[in-house]
Amino acid sequence: MSARAAALSRGAGIAALRRAVSKVAVGYAFVVPALALYVFFVIYPFISSIYYSLTSWDGAQPVKVFVGLANYRRLLSDPLVGQSLLHNLIWVIMGTISPIVIGLLLGVLLWTGARGMVAFRTIYFLPTVTSLVAVSLVWGVIYNPTFGLLNLVLRSLGLKGMAWLSDAQTKVLGVPLPMICLVVTYVWQDMGYNLVIFIAGLQSIPEVFKEAALVDGATSWQRFRYVTLPLLRSTLTFVIVMTMLSSWQVFVIFYVMTRGGPGNATRTLVLHIYETAFRHQEMGLAATMAMALFLIILVTTLIQLRLLRKEWEY
């Protein structure tokens, strides 16, 4: 090979290398800003929370006293933490099952392309895009024992009004009445999101399966049970996981409507974390509870994904 040919070959190799480096640089230029934001707003706070959970800190003073696992031992002996966790578990069960079941039933009813269905879908979805603070304030007025709409309706029917958000003695299936009222508010605000997801999943089911079931003489319930529901399994998995994640972290409704009362009847773990951190100024203990909540959410999510995964996904 002549010197000229060798030089041309080296030049072509260098040009190709430059083009490859340029493509990589462009890729990193797009990725780095998003990655930097993720590290700053997610990874760094998470690592900081782990460190804070090992310290005694009031959130104001610069000095953080390292206490090791003392906060974790204190967490296990705090009766309010156990009570808050129990309320959170009740809330997660009720706040997950209710909006999913109602959203699925409404999705099946609104699945058809009949006239007016789009308007109904919009109406049901509107609470989802409404501020949760505004929703909580409005429902707080509805539940007001003196001038609330609910008691006004009951009194117009000759019935006695109730202290909906302050009567912890009245229970429904063992659940205090204020918690039931908060669940109703949450379902009203959240089910529109599930409704839209279910309608999208239902519309993706090929009509051929429905037609085959009709030819075989299947009833409406049989078509739903043996055709529609199995084909919605991926959609159900997504909705269940997202709804449960949201239920574990609900804070605004409890803070605005009851502040954890009456007594501690509606105190949840997130609300307890907030009050521990900002009212009692025990950031270390609050970070410890946040880490415990993270582990609970992680384990429950992994269990859900494991149980709801299809056979062909293994």
Lowest pLDDT segment from 32-46, 117-131, 275-289: 117-131
Confidence band (pLDDT; 50, 70, 90) for 314?
very low
CA distances from 46 to 41, 49, 53, 64, 297 (A): 9, 5, 11, 17, 14
301 close to 244: Cβ distance less than 8 angstroms: yes
**Does the pLDDT value for residue 133 go beyond 50?**
yes
**Does the pLDDT value for residue 125 go beyond 80?**
yes
Interval 276-300 mean pLDDT: 91
* Spatial distance between the Cα atoms of 195 and 188, rounded to a whole number of angstroms: 11
Q: 79-313: what fold?
A: MetI-like fold (1.10.3720)
Angle between helices 233-248 and 79-109 (to 10 degrees): 150
| For the chain, percent of residues with pLDDT exceeding 90 | 27
Interval 166-179 mean pLDDT: 86
* Spatial distance between the Cα atoms of 143 and 182, rounded to a whole number of angstroms: 10
Other C-beta atoms lying within 10 Å of the C-beta of residue 55 = 19
Percent helix, strand, coil in the chain (nearest 5)?
75, 5, 25
Paired residues of 64 in beta bridges:
none
Best CA proximity match to 187, nearest among 119, 106, 262: 106
Interval 302-313 mean pLDDT: 69
- 132: tokens are 């949760």
72 close to 224: Cβ distance less than 8 angstroms: no
Confidence band (pLDDT; 50, 70, 90) for 60?
confident
Task: Fill in the DSSP letter of residue 160.
Answer: P
Task: Fill in the DSSP letter of residue 294.
Answer: H
pLDDT in tens, 68-118: 899 999 888 888 888 999 999 999 989 888 888 888 888 888 876 666 677
pTM over 0.85: no
* Spatial distance between the Cα atoms of 247 and 293, rounded to a whole number of angstroms: 12
Interval 300-307 mean pLDDT: 84
Confidence band (pLDDT; 50, 70, 90) for 313?
very low
Interval 216-220 mean pLDDT: 81
Domain range annotation of the chain:
3-52, 79-313
